[in-house]
Structure 1
Amino acid sequence: MNDCLFCKIIKQEIPSYKIFENDYIYAFLDINPVSDGHTLVIPKVHAENLSTTPDLYLSEVNKAKKIVAQILQEKIEGIKGFNYISNQEAIAKQVVFHYHEHILPKFKEDEGFLHDKNVNLKYASLEDVFNEITK
């Protein structure tokens, strides 16, 4: 889809902080993170939501979520758990209509959820988080 933000990121028409990529998925840091390491995992095929995504890509997204969580756990100190979230349709707060999964590292129990900002971000910028993950 020509106007899709995530399709443009996949094609590298828009820059991103890529964490992981294979033939089926692309994973990158969210530009509005709820927590340090907040990552999006998206299929490389345009599908509006989980219900319309081909099964092969759904399977690959799930495999990639596991890989990305392991990368984040190894590279960012203090992660104690994760939320895995996907919203479907505007009523459920889906903003970009290209299926995607959020991986939200959790550092303490009272941290925010998807649309609640975490006020305790350790890193000053996405670049700082990216540098920590890729060093």
Structure 2
Amino acid sequence: MTQTATAMAQECIFCAIARHEAEASMVYEDETVVAFMDRYPVTPGHLLVVPRRHAVGLEDLDKSTGGHVWAVAHDLARTLRRSSFRPEGINLNVCDGEAAFQTVFHFHLHVMPRYTGDGWPVESLPKTLDRDRQRLDSDAYEVRSVSARGTGD
């Protein structure tokens, strides 16, 4: 880590939680991630899965850790469904960057139990752009042209 990144990690609440230097209601932990109850839950049972190593957003997260975060979130979503919370659904949410409403700049995956009428609407995406096939193909080409993975992976 650079000196600036080290300073950011030392001030980061999620890093402090991962180091057991700040309070959290832990649900799961291993050498790569910690999972704990969200301090400001959208619904009861709302939890966060957080890598121990400081990463601001997706760009800073290595694939192995990212895959592990997702696998733990998947297991915990299954656990929530079997718990007394008995959610009717689950939302998994990542806010990556200020424009995407990220407020704690340490990557984290929200696992949110959902219930009919729970008061937190997530509506279907508005259809503000109507793209014809030629424009969609052009957009796809743009993404492929800068992707290290291309379309074969």
Query: What range is the shorter-chain TM-score in?
Result: 0.7 to 0.9
Larger RCO (alpha carbons 8 Å, 6+ apart): 1
Contact residue 80 and residue 86 of structure 2 kept, 8 A? no
**In the alignment, structure 1 residue 50 sits paired with structure 2 residue 58:** yes
- 1:21 Cα offset (Å): 1.2
Aligned length: 114
Find the counterpart in structure 2 of residue 105 from structure 1: 113
**Greater C-alpha radius of gyration:** 2
Moved >2 Å (runs of 4+):
none
Task: Give the secondary structure class of the aligned counterpart of 2:73.
Answer: helix
Find the counterpart in structure 1 of residue 88 from structure 2: 80
Find the counterpart in structure 1 of residue 31 from structure 2: 23
Contact residue 90 and residue 111 of structure 2 kept, 8 A? yes
Find the counterpart in structure 2 of residue 132 from structure 1: none
Deviations 1:41-94 (A, max 9, x none): 011111000121011110100100111112211112431111110111111110
Determine which structure has the larger helix proportion and give its number. Answer: 2
Structure 1 residues 15 and 83, CA, compared in 2 at 3 Å: closer, same or farther?
same
**Structure 2 stretches lacking a partner, 5+ long:** 1-8, 123-153
What is the CA–CA distance in structure 2 between the aligned matches of 1:98 and 1:110, rounded to whole Å? 27
TM superposition score normalised by structure 2:
0.70
Deviations 1:86-134 (A, max 9, x none): 11111111011100010110121564058xxxxxxxxxxxxxxxxxxxx
Over aligned residue pairs, what C-alpha RMSD do you find? 1.5
Task: Give the secondary structure class of the aligned counterpart of 1:60.
Answer: helix
Task: Give the secondary structure class of the aligned counterpart of 1:2.
Answer: helix
**In the alignment, structure 1 residue 6 sits paired with structure 2 residue 14:** yes
Percent identity at matched positions?
29
**In the alignment, structure 1 residue 95 sits paired with structure 2 residue 99:** no
**Structure 1 stretches lacking a partner, 5+ long:** 115-135
